[in-house]
Amino acid sequence: MKQIVVALWAVSFCWLLLSFNLTAAELRPSHVLVLANADSQRSLDVARYYMAKRKIPERNLIALRLPREEVITWQTYIDTLHNPLINMLISSKWIHAGASNQIDRIGRRLVAIYGHEVDFLVFSMDIPLKISDDPQRMPATRPDSIRQEFWTNRASVDSEISLMTFPESAIVAYMPNPLFNIMEPGTFTQQQVIRVARLDGTNEESVKRLVDNALAGEAKGVRGRAYIDYSQKYPQGDEWLKTTHLVLNKMGFDTTEEFRPELIDWHERFDAPSIYFGWWAWNLGGLMSAADFKFPPGAIIFHIHSFSANTIRSVDQNWVGPLVQRGAAVTVGNVYEPYLQLTHYPHIFMDALNRGQCAGVAAYTSLPILSWQTIFVGDPFYTPFGKDLDSQLAAISTGKMDPLDQYVVMRKMNFLRKDGRLDDACLLGYRYLKITPGLALAYHIAKCEVERGKRNEAIEAIRLMDAIKAYGVNEQGLAYEIARFLTVQGAHRQALQMYSNLLNNSRVPLLIEKMAIVDAIACAQGLGEALIAERWQTRLTQLNTANGK
């Protein structure tokens, strides 16, 4: 039976190639379907909210009665999701197939499918997340071609649905993704997969915000800095991130690379993290774990971990749920152990976005396999770089100050610096510092002045921001870095003032408080300010005593 179905599928596809003219670059709202859980009001609400925002026709809503649990069995998957969904898609002509009532060896409806018209299938909230391992559905013996660690049939629901149109796809181990690393796939290649995105997270509010953040990111473009957090665990993962850094550098993003095995922490710069790539940590932590921490609108946040999406309903466990809760517009995750080489490739993902792909398409471009453990969370339409840098710069207005605009200027300055036009970079920075003043831009200008060999001008650029006395959670690491920069430049008095501002006017975590006090003491002593140094030393002693050190 399998051979007959495959033959029909292949022959019928010749007709399909003449009938469809799909493009990889654009998604059509009229060809995007949204799946909601009919037994969950919030699932229906999120689905309709998203469809209204993206002008997806009401007829494209599919509501199935589904379990609300994240983990389901293979039998539940087949009975409540796979077979009902494929039946509905065939009857409504979204999938083109010949008539058949056959089922395959695990119970899925087996039909001769020769094409589909689904650009994307978007899951709303409360759609099951993953399928548990079922030893009863495993073959009796493992072939030598499959390694022991891949000998499992557990998988993400999303990844299994992606192969719905593929005849009798195997559920043990994985299958190659025909879209992998192909920037412009042809019609035949696209038709082999139904791409799946997920709008999900800890609560309805955060998921709706995810949708809004994608739209905001498109409207103004990605504004902020990039951060790469290496693990120093396995060379392959770090090599991916190094290549990702090359892509970001080519795009002009001001980027911080963190090489310690630990996550970026409180004392390190982490202002406006619109792009973040990291890996290895089990749960979200460091600065991102702060209750009031928020990512900028449109943020692209990507942390590689074996169980980053083990659950997506927790505000502090794993990564995907906490990231959505804190405002990420797009992320990816793994529901079970995928093994590093079988998860999304960050450098390909970022390169695809830079080439103009929307986030959903980029997620499939960067994924080597299907029928495995991965999910993509976010609005598949989201196109972060549809607006070019010059358009972003031109949109900066004197009438309405937005702190994120300073990062657009910094990115433009980076391109000028790369071209050796340091003078022009500084002039541009000073011009926009009057329009969109900010600590980050002033510091960027200062570093540019140092490159020009003008130390006094560098110090003066930061002095222009002396009116800023308190720093939010995202700016504290930046303020600490600037204070140390001023010390290196010999501006000890100005550095001491910045330490004082940081310690006296901001809600500073213990780690950064103690580090800043130590530096402030050294700074005060260097200036001969014995009383100030003594006052800081008393505060440090009190902190150590209170914390048992």
Identify the structural domains of the chain with CATH numbers, from first to last. 2-198 (no CATH), 388-465 (1.25.40), 466-549 (1.25.40)
- The Cα–Cα gap between 507 and 486 comes to 22
Distance of CA 208 to the CA centre of its chain: 16
DSSP β-bridge partners for residue 92 = none
pLDDT < 70 regions, the chain = 1-25, 398, 549
Q: Answer yes or no: are the C-beta atoms of 128 and 77 closer than 8 Å.
A: yes
Q: Answer positive or negative: Cα dihedral of 420, 409, 471, 280.
A: negative
- The Cα–Cα gap between 545 and 488 comes to 31
| pLDDT (0 to 100) of residue 1 | 36
| pLDDT (0 to 100) of residue 549 | 64
Q: Answer yes or no: are the C-beta atoms of 298 and 275 closer than 8 Å.
A: no
Spell 470-504 as b/e; 16+ CB within 10 A means b. Answer: ebebbbbbbbbbbbbbbbebebbebbbbbbbbbbe
DSSP β-bridge partners for residue 302 = 277
Give phi and psi for 247, each to the nearest 5.
Answer: -65, -45
| pLDDT (0 to 100) of residue 377 | 98
The DSSP H or E segment spanning 7 is: helix 2-19
- The Cα–Cα gap between 342 and 362 comes to 16
Q: Among the residues of 287-396, which ranges form H helices?
A: 320-325, 346-354, 359-365, 389-394
